[in-house]
Amino acid sequence: MAQLPPITISTLDLARLEALLENQPDSPAIRRLEDELDRARVVAPSDMPDNIVTMNSTIRFTMAGDETFTKTLCYPRDMDGAKDKISVLAPIGSALLGLAVGQSIEWPGPNGKMLQVTITAVDYQPERAGDYQS
């Protein structure tokens, strides 16, 4: 895997994700998310830069520079089958967390093939909207 870009997460997202991970069976995807949390710069929700992908953010990103997607990064409990949501436990979901607009990351996709994901916009971020309950 290429060198990983720096990421930033909030103290609130970190606490919620650590609680979520306590109840997950071990898997490569879970270990990758745990590694991401371990390497992240952690800030208070009120100090979160507005161009960072946080939990419940709606973001636009490209994969392999081709197709553009708009998705909301969700906790598994919030997945309701809507095509505009992606779980943080999905391979690409954990790759998106903490990235800033303009950053790219290479990450193993569902089939193990490496994918390049680039953040193009954060259309909605709960912290920017003052919503610390999501």
pLDDT digits (tens, 9 = 90+) for 91-121: 889 999 999 999 999 888 777 788 889 999 9
- CA distances to 60, 68, 107, 114 from 39, rounded to whole Å, are 23, 27, 15, 20
Instruction: Pick the closest to residue 7 from 30, 38, 32 (CA basis).
Output: 38
pLDDT digit string, tens, across residues 11-42: 999 999 999 999 899 988 889 899 999 999 99
- CATH number for the region 8-124 comes to 3.10.50.30
Do residues 86 and 75 touch, judged by C-beta distance below 8 A?
Answer: no
Higher-scoring residue by pLDDT: 6, 1: 6
CA atoms within 13 A on the CB side of 46: 0
CA atoms within 13 A on the CB side of 57: 32
Do residues 55 and 124 touch, judged by C-beta distance below 8 A?
Answer: no
pLDDT digit string, tens, across residues 36-75: 999 999 999 999 999 999 999 999 999 876 789 999 999 9
